[in-house]
Amino acid sequence: MRTGTGPSGLVKIASGALALLVGAFASAAKAADGPGTTPPAATSAASADGGTVAVATTGTTGTSPDDPKPADAPPDFLHSIQVDGFVDGYYGWAFNKVGPQLRNFDINHNNFSLNYVELAISKAPTDKSRAGFRVDFGAGDTANLVNLAEPGGKEYLKYVQQAYVSYLVPAGKGLSIDFGKFVTPAGAEVIENKDNFNYSRGLLFALAIPYYHMGARIGYAVNDKVSLTGYLVNGWNDVIDNNSDKTVGASLNVKPNAKTGIIVNYLVGKEQNADADGGTRNLVDVVVSYAANAKTSLLFNYDYGHDNITTTGPADETLHNGVAWQGIALGLKYQANDRWAFSPRYEYYNDADAFTTGLDQKLQEITLTGEYKTPVGLLARFEFRSDFSNKEFFVKDSGATTKTQPWVSVSLIYAFSSKQ
């Protein structure tokens, strides 16, 4: 990409423009000090796109070598801002000839679809500039599904996937504090397709865990191998809380060696509506990653959830029933060369109490994904997936039900970053 074109180029042009504005503002401030000051001198400084821009400086011209050195300037705020984004689209064909069930976010049959468009703007807190922020804007089918259960309404902050402020407390190796809306720590997969092994999200991502939280998280790196994070949030998928209780959680991240990562997440709190007389929900999530060698990566995920629901018995009596769901996922990515990668995935999911799928069933899925990185920066994925149930659950276009749900898709993703 030529300098000055595309999203990265726009950021660089904006950097040069901001430098001019800062210089002009500084000149005006100096002139406002009254007589006795000399006009600012224009100097040339390197711009973000590698050229030079004229910048007004506030010192006097012709200073002698004996004059005191100016104080170090604060870090350039604009240069600390990072802009990332991507565009993700696909075409999918369901052999049952209807949109696939139990899926996130490739949900359309025989349709060219815009899955997700995302633009993220962030400033990471550092030792020199301890405040930071992140805002992720997104639109497409993914945004619609992520926000579907929001108590504030399915349109409420639908286009804001994340928005939080950060502060790095000078304690030990650094105590990080975030407050706002952020994605869940649970799960081996994330909302952004480009960061997963496969194009489609697995059963565990779609059924076992939340998408996002609203509240606070506090993280601390004990050492280079162990970090801890605590959470105090409204609950699962609710910027506007659906009850008066809060959810708490904890994450333990361990890196015993350079090849292995282990993350254990635990969330507990009341998640049902205030008038549901529901119980306390518990979620245990375990993710293990292992880099077998330079070309092969392995991924394991286990989820267990439990809640209590209130129902009415045959004699109009109130019943409190425990419900549970659990599953495992196994993934592998083989990077054959700089262009091609192949990623199979297998999952097993047990919804014995019909809490997450509406039917007491055992599900499995197998996915095979081929990935090609094109010379022009596009990421293409070709995927076959089939879901299996031990019950007649999946619906065909004829209205009949079946135990299987095969699917194929072709997708294109373009990602960019101002830090590239």
Q: List pLDDT tens digits, range 306-346.
A: 999 988 888 877 788 999 999 999 999 999 999 999 999 99
pLDDT at 60: 39
pLDDT at 275: 85
Q: List pLDDT tens digits, range 251-299.
A: 999 999 999 999 999 999 999 998 888 899 999 999 999 999 999 999 9
Whether residue 419 has pLDDT greater than 60: yes
pLDDT at 315: 80
pLDDT at 357: 98
CA atoms of 362 and 364, how far apart (whole Å)? 7
Q: Residue 194 burial by CB count (10 A; 0-12/13-18/19+): exposed, middle or buried?
A: middle
pLDDT at 67: 53
Cα angle 416, 419, 420 (rounded to 5 degrees) comes to 60
CATH 2.40.160.10 intervals, the chain: 81-417
pLDDT at 79: 85
pLDDT at 174: 85
Any bridge partners for residue 182, and if so which?
213
Q: List pLDDT tens digits, range 160-170.
A: 999 999 999 99
Whether residue 51 has pLDDT greater than 60: no
Domain made up of 81-417: CATH architecture: Beta Barrel (2.40)
pLDDT at 200: 98
As a whole number, mean pLDDT of residues 137-157 equals 97
Mean residue pLDDT across the chain = 86
pLDDT at 395: 98
As a whole number, mean pLDDT of residues 107-125 equals 97
Query: Which residue type is seen at 154?
Result: K
Higher pLDDT, 178 or 16: 178
DSSP character at residue 390: S
Q: For the chain, what percent of residues have pLDDT higher than 90?
A: 76
Buried b (16+ CB within 10 A) or exposed e, 243-262: beeebebebebebeeeeebe
pLDDT at 72: 54
pLDDT at 405: 98
Per DSSP, the three-state class of 208 is: helix
Whether residue 2 has pLDDT greater than 70: no
End-to-end CA distance of the chain: give it in Å, rounded: 11
Question: Which uninterrupted H or E stretch holds 12?
Answer: helix 6-31
Query: Model's pTM, two decimal places?
Result: 0.81
Q: List pLDDT tens digits, range 202-219.
A: 999 999 999 999 999 999
CA atoms of 162 and 65, how far apart (whole Å)? 51
Q: List pLDDT tens digits, range 363-406.
A: 999 999 999 999 999 999 999 999 999 999 999 999 999 999 99
Question: Torsions phi, psi of 79, nearest 5?
Answer: -70, -15
42 — pLDDT class (breaks 50, 70, 90): very low
Question: Which uninterrupted H or E stretch holds 365?
Answer: strand 361-373
* Residue 167 tokens, joined: 């502060």
Q: List pLDDT tens digits, range 85-100.
A: 999 999 999 999 999 9
Region at 127 (left for phi over 0; alpha for psi -120 to 50; beta for the rest):
alpha
Q: What is the largest CA-CA distance in the chain?
A: 97
Cβ–Cβ < 8 Å for 320, 296: no
Count CB neighbours of 223 within 10 A: 9
Pairing of strands 111-123, 82-94: antiparallel
CA atoms of 44 and 19, how far apart (whole Å)? 11
Q: How far is CA 123 from the centre of its chain?
A: 16
